[in-house]
Structure 1
Amino acid sequence: MMRRAFERRLGRSSLTLAQARALLYLSRNEGLRQVELAAMLEVQPITLARLIDQLEAAGMVERLPDPDDRRAYKLYLTKAAAPHLAAINDVIRSIHADALRSLGRQQVDSLGATLGSMRENMGAQNRERDRESA
């Protein structure tokens, strides 16, 4: 429901949900390589490459050579991404406010702690599985 609300509220933007997610994650982790961002977004690298191509064509993202790997590029936002990120963050804040409206502060804090624990549990399982397969 939150995803649909996001798409509906961002509807006036030229961005797709996937592009908005890529911009948001990149804003929190500038200088990532494409393969790293693809893993964070849980998409195939080729899928992300197309998204980055679109964002680069729109002037919001730039690829710069990775000084440690001549074959790789690191991703950075341009100034043109700033108004889009502001709109994305406004929509996120609005959706969160709507979703949490009837909850008290203690409930919100408890929910945040519970979701954080769930994320950590799943991350630990994924790290263990990655070690076993290596």
Structure 2
Amino acid sequence: MNNNTLGFVMSDVTRLMRNLFKKRLKGQDLTLVQARALFYIARFEGVRQVELADMLEIKPISLVRLIDLLVEADLIERRPDPKDRRAYQIYLSATAQPHIDEILRVIKSIQDDALAGLSEAEIATVTFAFEKMRSNLSAF
């Protein structure tokens, strides 16, 4: 059996990167899922809770407790959605920035380790290929 199929290799690399992220984030008062949520909220400020749940691949009901914990930690805030009074949008609080900076530092360190030994041209090719695959698969 060939374990070097594209899906297997991508899954394995993702798992290894996720495990390394958890290890390097130690010392922070964040779990992996909390860090991922903060990262997505930083990228998409004003995201609705249901959209964030989709990005994190968790059920909206599971996200409620996660959001509650991040609100209690004063890292995010819920604001009513002006277009839908039943929904909330999520924003970073001012105290979240040091956590975001640490998340970004860890991400960069892992990316540097993952790409070690590759030339700039190889990195550009890999990045282009993954962006193209993401675009191709987003069409479905």
User: Scaled by the length of structure 2, what TM-score is found?
Assistant: 0.87
Please name the residue that 2:38 is paired with.
Answer: 23
Question: How many Å apart are 1:122 and its aligned residue?
Answer: 1.3
Q: Alignment partner for residue 98 of structure 1, among 101, 113, 130?
A: 113
Aligned counterpart, 1:3: 18
Moved over 3 A (4+): none
Structure 2 CA distance, aligned partners of 1:122 and 1:51?
Answer: 29
Q: Provide the identity percentage.
A: 50
> What do you get for the CA RMSD once the two structures are aligned?
0.8
How many residues in Structure 1 have an aligned counterpart in Structure 2? 125
List alignment gaps of at least 5 residues for structure 2.
1-15
User: What do the CA deviations read for 1:77-124 (whole angstroms, capped 9, x no partner)?
Assistant: 001110000000000000000110110011100000111111111111
Q: Write the distance in 2 (CA, Å) between the matches of 1:38 and 1:121.
A: 23
Supply the distance in 2 between the matched residues of 1:76 and 1:12 (Cα, whole angstroms): 24
Alpha-carbon distance, 1:49 to partner: 1.3
The C-alpha deviation readout for 1:30-65, integer Å capped at 9, x for no partner, is 111100111122211111111111100100010011
CA distance in 2, matches of 1:114, 1:49: 35
**Among 59, 62, 82, the residue aligned to 1:67:** 82
With the length of structure 1 as denominator, give the TM-score of the two structures. Answer: 0.91
